[in-house]
């Protein structure tokens, strides 16, 4: 065993960092046995040192000084956000220190720069905790499936929104009431926008797509819609057709067709999924991700996607991997972006849709609406009308479920429908994902 300890600089000591410190201390002997050398804290950098007096001399507000110290081998970053995390990590990597980070926002915005800096110095960059908390997902994509061809990664990667949608489905409550409950119970942050507007899931989708398809995908490449506009009526409408609404992150390899080369699609939006699909029963703050690979078939990963201890578990796993590399020599897997596949525009992505309209209930209305779908090349799978029937000016609710159609065609159809005399309101347009077929039209 290497006698010289591996010295760790911890940047950030909040929800995740606190648990990293606890696990490092509680499991010191076991971690040393697994890593091949003791793993010790060299220092902990925070913004407000007075709040962390229990850490004694380890604590500092001088993060730039800590990451460049000669006695530091590994930097663990759990501050979050773009700056100062990016500058600190680039400084650490430039100085020959390996990095473990949970920072999905930074990785999704500028992971390539970090990867290049790690390569230039020949050190490790690990980030298992950045997606789906405790769930071992990135290592399987990067390592276990390195001999296979991944075709799709899709799932629930944001616990806050899954808690809200689960609560709405269970109680029939409104989005606002469910968000309030999530905030009261500590699942949603005071400013929940990164979660409810889908940005957190989009960052994770960018990281997943990059690893799965050996292609650099950034958060800006990911089509992103959140859950703010999902209503109790949408949840009830989903139930009427045997579905649940979930916020999905979907990353797909899209086949070459005609002049269009093979590409990738990465997107986040709320969608109806069959109630019988395993993702539909993922409740509360849990995460679950399906991976499909040509030889392996379907794999499902499930567990706690957030929280101090679960996330720290993933951080510690990375730390042991880095420590083993330092003890044994060599590096872990480097960034693999050789495929450089183009990201397909959202307009070409084909899904099924559930369109709910309030219409005048008179002769010819259904035909004119069906005609617009047909004119835009959108094939109707089912139509259901409720209400109306009293003649005169009575309104009816018309639900149209389509076969898979390109996003652009559906959007033009809805634009035209909204302008028809007979259509009083387009109440909602939601995607229906069966999560079992290729989803892009050429």
CA 62 – CA 42 distance, rounded (Å): 13
Segment near ligand NDP (CB under 6 A); pick from 79-87, 258-266, 280-288, 429-437: 79-87
Residue 21 or 264: the one with the smaller Cβ distance to ligand NDP is 21
Window 54-73: contact mask with ligand NDP (x via CB under 6 A): ---------x----------
Say whether residue 312 binds ligand NDP (CB under 6 A): no
By CB under 6 A, residue 19 contacts ligand HSE? no
Q: What is the signed CA dihedral for 101, 102, 105, 110, rounded to 10 degrees? A: 20
Phi, psi (5° rounding) for residue 319?
A: -65, -40
Please identify, using beta-carbon distances, which residue of 137 and 321 lies nearer to ligand NDP: 137
160 binds, among ligand HSE, ligand NDP, none (CB under 5 to 8 A by kind): ligand HSE
What string of DSSP letters covers 385-418?
EEE--S-TT-EEEEEEEE-SEEHHHHHHHHHHHH
Residue 316 tokens, joined: 């510690």
12 binds, among ligand NDP, ligand HSE, none (CB under 5 to 8 A by kind): ligand NDP
Is 158 a residue that touches ligand HSE (CB under 6 A)? yes
* Options 90, 114, 266, 306; binder of ligand HSE; rule CB under 6 A: 306
Q: Closest by alpha carbon to 317, among 121, 160, 142, 112?
A: 142
Structure tokens at 26: 């509680």
Answer yes or no whether residue 133 interacts with ligand NDP by CB under 6 A. yes
- Residue 195 sits in the site that holds ligand HSE (CB under 6 A): yes
Instruction: Give the bridge partners for 271, in sequence order.
Output: 246, 431
**Active-site residue 204, yes or no?**
yes
Residue 173 exposed, middle or buried by CB count within 10 Å (0-12, 13-18, 19+): middle
102, interface contact from ligand HSE, ligand NDP, none, CB < 5-8 Å by kind? ligand NDP
Which region, left, alpha or beta, applies to residue 224 given φ > 0 means left and ψ of -120 to 50 means alpha?
A: beta
Q: Which stretch binds ligand NDP (CB under 6 A): 5-13, 262-270, 271-279, 425-433?
A: 5-13
CA–CA separation, 219 and 107 (whole Å): 9
Check if the beta carbon of residue 249 is closer than 8 Å to that of residue 157.
Answer: yes
Which region among 21-29, 75-83, 236-244, 273-281 touches ligand NDP (by CB under 6 A)? 75-83
Minimum CB–partner distance for residue 24 and ligand NDP (Å): 15
Do 42 and 8 form a contact (C-beta atoms < 8 A)?
Answer: yes
**Shortest Å distance, C-beta 215 to ligand NDP:** 23
Is residue 160 a contact residue for ligand HSE (CB under 6 A)?
yes
Q: Which stretch binds ligand NDP (CB under 6 A): 78-86, 209-217, 226-234, 317-325?
A: 78-86
The 3-state DSSP class for residue 155 equals strand
Binding-site member from 12, 111, 198, 305 for ligand HSE (CB under 6 A)? 305
Contact at 8 Å (CB) between 133 and 303?
yes
**Interface positions, 96-135, toward ligand HSE (CB under 6 A):** 133
> Is 401 in contact with 351 (CB distance < 8 Å)?
no
3-class secondary structure, 292 = strand
Residues making up the chain, counted from first to last: 442
The CA distance from 305 to 155, in Å, is: 12
What is the smallest separation between the CB atom of 196 and ligand HSE, expressed in angstroms? 9
CA dihedral of 418, 421, 427, 428, whole degrees rounded to 10: -30
Taking the complex as a whole, the smallest distance from the CB of residue 85 to ligand HSE amounts, in Å, to: 15
Decide if residue 198 touches ligand NDP (CB under 6 A).
Answer: no
Told to check if 313 binds ligand NDP by CB under 6 A, we report no
Indicate whether 289 belongs to the interface with ligand NDP (CB under 6 A): no
Least separation in angstroms between CB 186 and ligand NDP = 11
Which positions lie near ligand NDP, rule CB under 6 A?
A: 11-17, 45-48, 51, 63, 78-80, 84, 102-104, 129, 133, 306-307, 311
Q: What residues act catalytically? A: 204
């Amino acid at each position: 065993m290497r006698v010289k300890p591996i010295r760790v600089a911890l940047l950030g000591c909040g929800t995740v960092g606190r648990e990293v410190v606890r696990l490092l201390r509680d499991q010191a002997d076991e971690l040393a046995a697994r890593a091949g050398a003791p793993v010790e804290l060299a220092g902990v950098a925070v913004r407000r040192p007075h709040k962390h007096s229990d850490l004694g001399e380890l604590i500092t507000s001088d993060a730039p000084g800590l990451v460049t110290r000669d006695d530091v081998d590994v930097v663990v970053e759990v501050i979050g956000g773009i700056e100062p995390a990016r500058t600190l990590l680039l400084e650490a990597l430039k100085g020959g220190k390996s990095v473990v980070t949970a920072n999905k926002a930074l990785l999704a915005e500028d992971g390539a720069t970090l990867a290049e800096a790690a390569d230039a110095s020949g050190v490790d960059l690990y980030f298992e905790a950045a997606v789906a908390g405790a769930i071992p997902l990135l290592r399987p994509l990067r390592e276990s499936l390195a001999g296979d061809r991944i075709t799709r990664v899709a799932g629930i990667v944001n616990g806050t929104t899954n808690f809200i949608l689960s609560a709405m489905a269970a109680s029939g409550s409104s989005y606002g009431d469910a968000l309030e409950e999530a905030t009261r119970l500590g699942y949603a942050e005071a400013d929940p926008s990164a979660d409810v507007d889908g940005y957190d899931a989009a960052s994770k989708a960018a990281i997943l797509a990059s690893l799965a398809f050996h292609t650099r995908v950034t958060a800006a490449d990911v089509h992103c819609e959140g859950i703010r506009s999902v209503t109790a009526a949408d949840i009830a409408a989903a139930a009427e057709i045997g579905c649940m609404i979930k916020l999905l992150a979907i990353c797909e390899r899209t086949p070459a067709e005609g002049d269009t080369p093979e590409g990738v699609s990465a997107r986040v939006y709320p969608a109806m999924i069959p109630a019988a699909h395993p993702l539909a029963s993922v409740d509360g703050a849990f995460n679950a991700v399906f991976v499909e690979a040509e030889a392996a078939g379907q794999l499902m990963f499930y567990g706690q996607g957030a929280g101090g201890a679960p996330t720290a578990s993933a951080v510690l796993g990375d730390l042991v991997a880095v420590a083993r590399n330092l003890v044994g020599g060599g590096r872990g897997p480097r960034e693999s972006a050789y495929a450089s596949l183009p990201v397909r525009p959202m307009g070409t992505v084909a899904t099924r849709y559930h369109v709910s309209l309030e219409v005048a209930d008179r002769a010819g209305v259904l035909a004119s609406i069906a005609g617009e779908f047909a004119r835009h090349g959108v094939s109707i799978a089912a139509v259901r009308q409720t209400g109306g029937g009293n003649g005169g000016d009575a309104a009816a609710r018309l639900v149209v479920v389509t076969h898979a159609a390109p996003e652009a065609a559906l959007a033009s159809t809805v634009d035209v429908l909204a302008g028809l005399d007979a259509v009083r309101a387009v109440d909602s347009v939601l995607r229906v994902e069966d999560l079992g077929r290729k989803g892009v039209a050429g």
